[in-house]
Chains A and B, each alone.
Chain A
Amino acid sequence: MTTSVRNSGKGGNSFTSLLIQLRTFGVLILICAFFGLMAPNFLTYGNIPILAKHIAVNAILAMGLVFVLLTGGIDLSIGSIVGLAGMVAGGLIYEGIPLNFLGVAVYFNAPAIMVLALLIGMAIGFANGWLITKFNVAPFIVTLGMMYIARGLALLRSNGATFPNLQGASEHNTTGFPVLGAARLLDIPLSVWITAALAFFFIYLARKTPFGRHVYAVGGNEIAAKLSGVNVDRIKIRVYMISGLTAALVGLIVTSELVAAHPATGTSYEMNAIAAAVLGGTSLAGGRGTIGGTLVGACIIGVLNDGMVMMGVSEFWQTVIKGIVIIAAVILDQVQAEIQRRSAMAKI
């Protein structure tokens, strides 16, 4: 809900800008407090790690996606990449690469399988970016197409069936895959640690590196960026590779948690990720948004989801309420941006 997180806090009235920065965070606290009161089991030592695990999946997806959104693009294919990456990993563990004419199958160990799945996610992201820049097609169209392609490939991998029991077999050296989804460190699930590490890395990438600055520049004014020597096409390709990579990572995490790969996994995940980014103050027009804000947005969505479930709100109402929250957040944001713009104009 903070369009100007990135710009505010660097100047002007620092107290006001701090409030603006913390506004989304304040909403999150309020929601947590509300569910804490209404659902007594919500804020408990047992429940918080579960909640964090639910949030982690959407947060990783949204943080990768936000780079795409910052350039003014969109990536609808990430939900399908989640499914495809899971199926690739699941298939490799379950049956390896069957070489039927030899009557044997080639197996890889779990780390290699994960790397392979991540590379496939990145490759799909590269294809998205390449098609968008090379043929000048709208990102919405390209990634919509890719959404179908990746989902179709995921279904084709098993003819629509599930790869169950992905514990792996020691004779094939494929064990260890469920660790990703099940392991805990200091009582905190591994996926939450991964989310935190990624958040730090992405914040660094966005704020401290020329790449990050160029991403914001491309979204803020593509022509000015180009005339300033920003290689716009390369930046665009890279942001889709990032979102493809994070989507594949989420695919691995979800598959590992379930210890089974289903080709429909990740369906409509892209919408949750977009919602988290937008709640976190990301502008779909590009140029505005932060990793931190997106993280908070993902937390809000996660807390809303789990909180309403624990309160016993009907699933149908949950969906309606989530929609209302997203629209209300963006309207608030517009109002706030307008107020800021007016006060800025008044100063000139």
Chain B
Amino acid sequence: MEELVLEARGITKRYPGTTALDDVDFDVFKGAVNVLVGENGAGKSTLTKILAGVEEATTGRILRQGKPIRYSSPFEARNHGVGIVFQELNLVPNLSIAENMFMAREIMRNRFMIDHERQESEAAEALRRLQLDLPPSTLVSSLGIGQQQIVELAKALHGDVDILIMDEPTSALSEQEVKVLFEIIVDLKARGTAIVYISHRFEEILEIGDYITVLRDGRLISKARIRDIDIHWIVREMTGEEEKPPVPRRKSLGGALLEVNHLRLPNFSGGYKVNDVSFKLRKGEILGIYGLMGAGRTELLECLVGAQPDATGQIVLEGREIASSRVDQRIIDGFSLIPEDRKQQGIVQTFTIAENMTLASLSRYTGRFSISSAGEGRAVDDMIRELAIKIGSKTHSIFSLSGGNQQKVVVGKNLLTNPRVLLMDEPTRGIDVGAKKDMFDIVRKLTDEGLGIIMVSSELKEMLTIPDRVLVLNKGRLTGEFDRSELSQATLLLASGSK
């Protein structure tokens, strides 16, 4: 069974300014689950994209059954038998299973007409193999997430694909659906399909994997057979050493600021996105929220800022129970959210720098009817100075700024509302190292003034170095609470990844 079907040799990928992959080798064995793990930014997704043809390596070779091959698009990769299922589902909901499977490679009856019968009979056979007992004419919109995942599999496997890349296939699935998926994987293995499996969930890896490759900071760290290793080995290899965090920041915190009791957010398809979460926050404290994708981190912050009308539970801010339910009211109460996706949720693209910055606090500069340009300008100037935002002119478009400076404008917008609790969702996403440092200097300074901060980040290093305390969420539930002194990469990973 130890037959290599695909070898990546000496793969290096450089982007302007950074090296995402540095001379990495990766082996894919036939009829086996080849696991790829690493922290965020370790280079997993870059390697995956190169194998799937989405990106091309700067240098390095890919060998198929020992022979070098080249491809530069997912389409060409398919021709070499490499298929991929991305983390996000890419199906068109208003079309049928068969139509989705044959999207852009339809079987034609003649030049103009699709041969629906043949498509559906081939789709039916593919579905049978994957044990999905549904007519291929079923609309994708009527399927559950797990079933859609299987349709993605069928789509990726169709044709002569014998190498299947799966990027975190279980992140959106229920336990029952995971079980079904694993049965399919076992079956695929038995038929000789090689699977490249990317996951953050260690128990799953141990259950389904055969070989494991660990990346860290763009380099190949180690390779092993799964049967020879355990969870602690994975964590050790992923994170480097069993390092202790730099423990300083033991400043005295202020009194109670925020108390959250039994916060719940129901999920559309049953269950809860945030499930009975309770915690406290003190003045001047930085509380980190860690968890995998889909753990309910963003939703938790949205509940606090009033962006989730279906949320239930008790929120007490400075001894006063919060009764309001809308974002504008919550902002007045003292909550403010720096959203995860700056472009989609943080900035108004058609606005200038100044207009973006004052959007949440206009009432402060408004007299009886109109906005005072002078008052508004002064607030913006002060904030630009305080946050050291590099701009040409505050009347330029927000797009004249780099990502880091755009993010600082968003921070400024939030600070101008005079928040008591600042909620930060991935505040350093997509900004460079210098801007990250600035961001955290600002955060630390704010806590000196008694502001409470709740910060979500998927960067382990940030979680270890910035917060005073970290809560870990897993599938909506609070599964761990760690003081700064007890934090380590391993504890966080275990609390977030275990069932």
Contacts and interface: CB of A to CB of B under 8 A. Distances in A.
Interface of A: 7, 10-12, 204, 208-210, 213-214, 216-217, 219-221, 223-231, 287-288, 344, 347-348
Q: What 10 A-B pairs come out closest when comparing CB atoms?
A: A220-B350, A220-B348, A228-B360, A287-B350, A208-B370, A229-B328, A10-B395, A229-B331, A210-B362, A11-B395
A287 B349 CA distance: 9
A209 B344 CA distance: 25
B351 interface: yes
B309 to A, nearest CB: 11
Given A227-B327, A347-B400, A217 B351 contact: yes
Given A10-B352, A230-B328, A224 B400 contact: no
5 contacts: A208-B370, A210-B366, A216-B355, A217-B351, A224-B359
B370 A204 contact: yes
Interface string B343-363: 011111111100100011011
Nearest to B338: A227
Contacts of B399: 344, 348
B305 interface: yes
Interface of B: 305, 307, 326-328, 330-332, 337, 339, 344-352, 355, 359-360, 362-363, 366, 369-371, 392-393, 395-397, 399-400, 402, 413, 417
A213 B371 contact: yes
A212 to B, nearest CB: 9
Contacts of A223: 339, 344-345
Given A208-B371, A213-B359, A226 B327 contact: yes
Given A229-B360, A347-B400, A220 B349 contact: yes
Contacts of B417: 229
Please report whether the interface of chain A is mostly helix, strand, loop or mixed according to DSSP: helix
A227 B345 contact: yes
A227 to B, nearest CB: 6
A220 B305 contact: no
A110 B360 CA distance: 44
Contacts of B402: 348
Nearest to B346: A224
A347 B346 CA distance: 23
B393 A11 contact: yes
Among A12, A214, A227, max chain B CB count under 10 A is at A227
A277 to B, nearest CB: 16
B17 to A, nearest CB: 15
Contacts of A217: 348, 351, 355, 359
A165 B345 CA distance: 56
A221 B396 contact: no
Contacts of A204: 370
